[in-house]
Amino acid sequence: MSITIAVLGASGYVGSALCAHVLRSGILEPGDRLQLVGHGESSSYGRLLAVRADLLDAFDDLRVSISVTPRLEDIEADLVVLTAGVPMPPGCTDRRVMGRGNLPIFQNIASACGKHLPTATYLVVSNPVELAVQELSRTIDRKRIIGIGAEQDSLRFARSIARSLGISRHDVHASVWGEHGRHMIPMWHSVRLRGDDDKVFGRLSELEQRAQQQPLMERVASLQEASMLHLQNDDIASAYHLAEAALPDARIFIEPFVTASAIHSTPNATANAVLNIIRAWKEDDGRCVHAQVMLQGELRGISCPFGVPVSVGCKGWLLHPNADSHHVTKEDLDASILGIQASLADAATI
Ligand SMILES: NC(=O)c1ccc[n+]([C@@H]2O[C@H](COP(=O)([O-])OP(=O)(O)OC[C@H]3O[C@@H](n4cnc5c(N)ncnc54)[C@H](O)[C@@H]3O)[C@@H](O)[C@H]2O)c1
């Protein structure tokens, strides 16, 4: 049976990179469809026609249909990827500002899609991911709403560990729970390495011990302060050096921020994380990915959108069996839950 993937925000940095990654990956087969969805304005429609023409020039020989749908109400898709959102004001790093700007967009999508597309699966890229997951879960089955921030953060954590150990990310599995933002929880206890090199395992233990010598939030705060100074001086190289020298759990807070300040977004990394989840959705084979999902007490009593290990498929997400085996302190969980709830409450005040 042919499948259709719809992308909302396909003219943006992430949306357009995602379309190219999806087509290049071979996930869509001849007869499948990629739908670029506008938001009802003629300017967005025109940009999407241009994106489509560019994608066709690159990928038409794949025989995947690429279409433009000007309005949300006309989407017909098995999988909807949400990358739409208003840009942050220049220099602003406060996610609450983004939440206030994007809430009406999320509500509009929830209302339109809840009515006529209740059985699709939704991948949420737009920030704040937790807010979008909450809003879409009001009108669509929460089990079909999957925020991709936790997969992105887990891949970054795995890469940072791999770099510190001098190995490839291919040989590292690692999980980041909680918020996609400053209340994320890099889970040292989730780290698994392929191979049997005792020296590498020894270096991993050393890293973890060093990380325990000073609380993560203290290390992140001082890195943030120092990297801001470099960025204010337009010294991107020094900001990256600082991030690269940091321990992996702190590095993942800083490095994406440096990248976004230089090139506005993180299009390829994000597209790659989404692609991981699309592959898992298509294969439906129980593999472990990570996602912000709307929990209702099924894991450690958490009842809010929260990043955890899941498996995904055409019926949506299920908690991955690994999820309950990971050690995480109550203190870390509570801090992340409170941070998420505070951001959600802030958006609700507008
Ligand atoms: N979860 C992650 O790891 C991650 C990583 C990078 C970016 N993001 C988020 O993804 C989103 C897109 O990022 P980007 O860098 O591509 O931004 P962008 O500004 O390049 O693209 C935004 C897209 O949204 C569309 N848009 C603007 N206003 C809209 C409206 N009112 N209704 C519907 N669509 C509208 C634009 O036309 C554009 O296509 C942002 O919310 C960003 O924070 C998430």
Cα 63 from Cα 2, distance rounded (Å): 12
Its pTM stands at 0.96
Alpha helices in 79-174 (DSSP H): 95-116, 129-139, 149-165
Calculate what percentage of the chain has a pLDDT beyond 90. 89
Atom of ligand 1 nearest to the CA of 16: 16
Indicate whether residue 301 lines ligand 1 (CB < 6 A).
Answer: no
**Neighbour count for residue 103 (Cβ, 10 Å):** 18
Indicate whether residue 259 lines ligand 1 (CB < 6 A).
Answer: no
pLDDT of 53 reads 98
Atom of ligand 1 nearest to the CA of 147: 1
Q: Where are the beta strands (DSSP E) in 32-77?
A: 33-37, 65-69
Using CA atoms in the order 53, 54, 57, 62, what is the torsion angle rounded to 10 degrees? -90
pLDDT of 327 reads 85
Which of 175, 174, 176, 170 shows the shortest CA–CA distance to 194?
A: 170
Residue nearest to atom 11 of ligand 1 (CA): 126
Residue located via tokens 């912000």 = 292
Give the max Cα distance, the chain: 60
Kindly provide the ipTM of the predicted complex, given to two decimals. 0.98
Q: Look up residue 129 and give its two tokens.
A: 């991911």
Cα 145 from Cα 89, distance rounded (Å): 28
Q: Please give the distance, rounded to the nearest whole angstrom, from the Cα atom of residue 324 to the centre of ligand 1.
A: 33
Residue located via tokens 């990248």 = 259
Domain boundaries, given as residue ranges, for the chain: 4-149, 150-350
DSSP state of 166: T
Cα 79 from Cα 7, distance rounded (Å): 9
Q: Please give the distance, rounded to the nearest whole angstrom, from the Cα atom of residue 147 to the centre of ligand 1.
A: 14
The segments of the chain whose pLDDT lies below 50 read none
* Cα torsion angle, 184, 190, 191, 192, sign: negative
Q: Are 32 and 4 in contact (CB under 8 A)?
A: yes
Indicate whether residue 180 lines ligand 1 (CB < 6 A).
Answer: yes
Residue nearest to atom 21 of ligand 1 (CA): 12
Q: Any idea which residues carry the catalytic annotation?
A: 180
pLDDT of 134 reads 98
Indicate whether residue 44 lines ligand 1 (CB < 6 A).
Answer: yes
pLDDT of 350 reads 65
Indicate whether residue 11 lines ligand 1 (CB < 6 A).
Answer: yes
Pocket test of ligand 1: the residue of 18, 82, 126 to mutate, having most ligand atoms within 8 Å of its CB, is 126
CATH topology of domain 150-350: L-2-Hydroxyisocaproate Dehydrogenase; Chain A, domain 2 (3.90.110)
Helix (H) or strand (E) holding 306: strand 305-313
DSSP string for residues in 235-284: -HHHHHHHHHHS-HHHHHHHHHHHHHHHHSS-HHHHHHHHHHHHHHHHH-
Q: Look up residue 273 and give its two tokens.
A: 């994380």
pLDDT of 326 reads 79
Residue nearest to atom 5 of ligand 1 (CA): 270
**Between the CA of residue 46 and those of 57, 77, 179, 313, what are the distances in Å?**
17, 21, 35, 33
CATH superfamily of the 4-149 domain: NAD(P)-binding Rossmann-like Domain (3.40.50.720)
pLDDT of 92 reads 72
Q: Which residues of 310-339 are buried (b: 16+ CB within 10 A; e: fewer)?
A: bbbbeebbeebebbeebebeeebbebbbeb
Which of 154, 219, 230, 224 shows the shortest CA–CA distance to 192?
A: 154
β-sheet bridge partners, residue 291: 308
Within this chain, domains 4-149 and 150-350 share the same CATH topology = no
Q: Please give the distance, rounded to the nearest whole angstrom, from the Cα atom of residue 85 to the centre of ligand 1.
A: 4
Is 10 one of the annotated binding-site residues? yes
Indicate whether residue 124 lines ligand 1 (CB < 6 A).
Answer: no
Indicate whether residue 265 lines ligand 1 (CB < 6 A).
Answer: yes
β-sheet bridge partners, residue 58: none
Helix (H) or strand (E) holding 333: helix 330-348
pLDDT of 196 reads 92
Is 125 one of the annotated binding-site residues? yes
Indicate whether residue 48 lines ligand 1 (CB < 6 A).
Answer: no
Quick: pLDDT tens for 98-143: 899 999 999 999 999 998 999 999 999 999 999 999 999 999 999 9
Pocket test of ligand 1: the residue of 7, 8, 13, 123 to mutate, having most ligand atoms within 8 Å of its CB, is 13
pLDDT of 91 reads 67
Residue located via tokens 């994007």 = 102
Residue nearest to atom 37 of ligand 1 (CA): 9
Which residues, 6 or more positions from 274, have their beta carbon under 8 angstroms from its beta carbon? 18, 21, 81, 123, 125, 148, 151
**Neighbour count for residue 170 (Cβ, 10 Å):** 9
Q: Please give the distance, rounded to the nearest whole angstrom, from the Cα atom of residue 81 to the centre of ligand 1.
A: 11
